[in-house]
Amino acid sequence: MAFSKQQLHKFADLIRIDIPDEKLEQMNIDSVIDWLDKLQQIDTRGIEPMLNPAEHKLPRRADVVTDGNIRDAVLANDPDTAGVSRGYFAVPKVMDE
C-alpha cells in the first residue's frame, strides 16, 4: 500500500507534525504499513485480551528481621562515645542557627 505525498502531508497535519518534503522522501512509511498489515493477519481467535502484561503479582518473601536488635554492637563502632550512652551516633554540627 503506497501513500502519496499529499496523503502523508495530510496525516502529518492531522497529528500536528511538520515534515519537510526531503524528509518524506527519506522515510520508508510503506514498509511500516506493510508490517502493520502483517500484524493484522495474525489469527488471535481464542486468545483472551490482555490489558497489562504484568497482571500477575510477583511472589513476595516474608519480612523477617534476621540481624535486628544489635544496636549496642553497631554503636560500639563509634569512636566518639558522646551519643552512644543515649543510643545514637553523635555527629558534628553542620548548620549554624
pLDDT tens digits along 17-52? 888 888 877 777 777 788 888 989 999 899 888 777
The confidence band for 1, taking pLDDT boundaries of 50, 70 and 90, is low
pLDDT, one tens digit per residue, over 72-82 is 888 888 887 77
Would you state the pLDDT for residue 41? 92
Please, are residues 91 and 82 in contact by the beta-carbon 8 Å criterion? no
What gap in Å lies between CA 3 and CA 5, rounded to an integer? Answer: 7
Backbone angles phi, psi at 68, to 5 degrees: -80, 175
State the pLDDT at residue 14: 87
String of DSSP letters for the chain: ----HHHHHHHHHHTT----HHHHHH--HHHHHHHHHHHHTS--TTPPP-S-TT-SPPP------SS-S-HHHHHTT-S-TTTGGGTS---------
More confident residue, 23 or 55: 23
40 contact partners, CB below 8 Å, separation of at least 6: none
pLDDT at 91: 82
